[in-house]
Structure 1
Amino acid sequence: MKDYNYRGGVASMNRDKETLLKQIPIISNCKEVIQINKGFSSDEKFLVHMNDDNEKLLLRTFQLEEFESKKKEYLILERMWEYKVTCSRPISMGELGSRGYMITSYIEGKDAEDEIHKYSAKEQFDIGFEAGKELRKIHQFTAPCHITSWHLRKEKKHKKYYEDYLACGIKVENDQKIMNFIQENIHHMKKRPNLFQHDDFHPGNIIVNNKQFAGVIDFNRYDWGDPIHDFLKIGIFSREVSIPFSIGQIRGYFNNTEPDEYFWRLYSLYLAMCVFSTVIWTLKTIPDNMDDMLGKVYAFLEDHDYFCKIKPKWYTEEMHVR
């Protein structure tokens, strides 16, 4: 879904599959259907070239048992469009044989993660700034009433991760110092709002085109809780890709003003909690990548002097490049 113009990423598709897909009413008269072989999702993805004005659509097919979760994602996209978020527009959803399908508009461009290093510092900052403005729109969506409070859910998860960490045999340097910081600041979560979280907001899910922000994708990992938690990926991933983008995202979110100490304290709290969850998640899912993931952990620990500082070293208020 992230890059529909890349070389080597499309595959020829057998005629039977193309004929089957063209049974979907909205694309029955399309010019061409091209399979996309990029990304880690189990979904099959297709770029659909329509006959009208060179329109392109994105078609995703998935297992029928995923239909209800995909329906929720579709409804999320509808709500994002109501909030004027620059994202894929949901168009159609249904069943096709033994598969479900979802059709959305296609965002022209490429992953910011792959492209942004080619741009100037100002261009990177500006893309981050626009991304931050979009994130602010995303956070307008209030959690449904049945969703329990953020701090109760987050504290419960953290307690389990920390217990598993103590038993796992891997030790992070100064782990007690990190835990002390968490214990001293965890009460700040108690009055935080319960809002929509993209939960995977970083340059890999930002599309750029002609050196400009073009849209945000991949809402399927969403959650509900403190909107500041959506800045977590800056410390783990985005700052490695582009510091100007990361600073721009923060400033764009806060309408080109500096965030207050409360923001940085919560941001640091969530990063500190992430130390232990990262170790356990990596052990369970990608154990061969433990050294790489610990490298990311130690990078943000150094950014904060193991949380002696709540504002990271890479963040400079003087970067007024917009």
Structure 2
Amino acid sequence: MKLSEIEELYNQVPYCKEWNRVKIKEITKGFSNEFKYLIENIDSENNIIEKVFIRISSIKLKEEKIEEFKRTKLLNSITDDFNMTRAIEMGVFEKNNNSEGYVWILTNWIEGTDFRDDLPKLPLKKQYELGLDAGRLLKLFHSLEIKDTSNIYNRDNIERKLRIIQDFENTKDIRFENDELIIKFIKENLDTVYKLDCQKLVLKHGDYHVGNMVLTDTNQFAVIDFNRSCYGFALDEFQRIQNFDIECSVHFSIGQIDGYFGNKSSEILNNHSFWYSFKTFVAMSLISGVHWARTFDQSIVDGMIYRAQEALSHFNNFKDDIPSWYLEFKQQQQQKEATEDIENSKFNEESILSQKKQLESI
């Protein structure tokens, strides 16, 4: 879609109907096939009154976009305490020349900077605190539990994932060192992990990671891009921590897990079903990620292979359940707390002895 087309068609958006002057800017960032534009409402003195964001897709995707809009509104309804993309309205652009029309979704525009660029610049404590908030928000999203799991766990779903693995194995130019260890683990565990009692079916954001977050001017995070929202298992949402978040900030990644589970370190470390699920979903995402990347240029493939090799290291060739970046952090944290307890104990003993001597001298 040309910029001139959106300039003609935006008047069909009811929300913008009364806007006299607008400025429209195309947004090219991201992997989606949608047309994306920032629309600014400008007054007579060129002051910006309001900004909105519009995503435009082929009319052939109308039914899918209707469901996406509903899912986004549902996730928006859970809380007002966090900054996020919020759906405003949707509709269809009609064209008069009998050519194909478009379906559009209008949302708010969130001011901020690229989370991946600026998160690492913040103090480590702040990175961890933002992770805690991200985990708490994800927990709220997952509070919309769905009772019917029949469409999520079935043999067709498992077989589809196994076909991806088979296709990966047959595509020689994307194979990498020790990938057979990941494949072996998936084949041995994928069916089992889907049947665990802990697999709660929820409405997911679907692409919850640092690449879909914005750092606001108050150094808070905001979640954007709900276009991949879907129904699925809650614990499957965590695999992007390993794939994308840790390379940006380990402290944020750890905070996200801690925040989701109420920041109870000992309980999290002993939550074997979570770590088993986490490792299995990570393993599947590594293979499917490299498989997906082959449709782009080699740099995308190389990036996904690098992440897979990092995961092999973090999970000790998939022999360990808890990744080293989380376990080592918690061990250091526990050691620090133990040292502080000893120091506090020594201080208290010295204080008591000092008080005792003072009393004896009276």
Return the TM-score normalized by structure 2.
0.76
- Aligned mate of 1:104, from 83, 107, 116: 107
Q: Measure, in 1, the Cα distance between the counterparts of 2:54 and 2:169.
A: 44
1:194 aligned partner: 201
1:134 aligned partner: 137
Q: Measure, in 1, the Cα distance between the counterparts of 2:54 and 2:184.
A: 48
* Superposition deviation, residue 149 in structure 1: 3.2
Q: Measure, in 1, the Cα distance between the counterparts of 2:262 and 2:222.
A: 18
Q: Which moved more, 1:259-268 or 1:56-65?
A: 56-65
1:185 aligned partner: 189
2:22 aligned partner: 32
1:91 aligned partner: 88
1:4 aligned partner: none
**2:303 pairs with 1:311:** no
Q: Measure, in 1, the Cα distance between the counterparts of 2:150 and 2:86.
A: 26
Sort the Cα spacing of 1:81 and 1:275 in 2 relative to 1 into closer, same or farther, 3 A.
closer
- Aligned mate of 2:227, from 201, 213, 220: 220
Contact 1:127 1:245 in 2 (8 A): yes
* Superposition deviation, residue 298 in structure 1: 0.3
SS in 1 for 2:325: coil
2:170 aligned partner: 167
Q: State the one-letter code of the partner of 1:251.
A: D
Q: Measure, in 1, the Cα distance between the counterparts of 2:147 and 2:39.
A: 34
SS in 2 for 1:55: strand
Q: Which runs of 4+ in 1 moved over 6 A?
A: 50-53
Contact 2:56 2:103 in 1 (8 A): yes
Structure 2: tracts of 5 or more residues without a match: 95-100, 337-362
**2:264 pairs with 1:269:** no
- Identity rate of aligned residues, in percent? 27
Question: Could you list the per-position Cα deviations for residues 281-303 of structure 1 after superposition, in whole angstroms to 9, with x for gaps in the alignment?
Answer: 22344456333321111011111
* Superposition deviation, residue 147 in structure 1: 5.3
Contact 1:150 1:194 in 2 (8 A): no
Q: Which has the larger radius of gyration?
A: 2
Q: State the one-letter code of the partner of 2:87.
A: P
Q: Which moved more, 1:38-47 or 1:51-60?
A: 51-60
CA RMSD of aligned residues (A): 2.8
Structure 1: tracts of 5 or more residues without a match: 1-12
1:237 aligned partner: 244
- Aligned mate of 2:301, from 286, 290, 297: 290
Return the TM-score normalized by structure 1.
0.85
Aligned length: 309
Sort the Cα spacing of 1:272 and 1:23 in 2 relative to 1 into closer, same or farther, 3 A.
closer
SS in 2 for 1:241: coil
Q: State the one-letter code of the partner of 2:254.
A: I
Q: State the one-letter code of the partner of 2:86.
A: R
Higher-helix-fraction structure: 2
Contact 2:153 2:194 in 1 (8 A): yes
1:48 aligned partner: 40
Q: Measure, in 2, the Cα distance between the counterparts of 1:206 and 1:156.
A: 33
Q: Measure, in 1, the Cα distance between the counterparts of 2:272 and 2:86.
A: 36
Q: State the one-letter code of the partner of 1:188.
A: V
Q: Measure, in 2, the Cα distance between the counterparts of 1:19 and 1:166.
A: 49
Q: Report 1 or 2 for greater relative contact order, CA contacts < 8 Å, sequence distance ≥ 6.
A: 1
1:78 aligned partner: 73
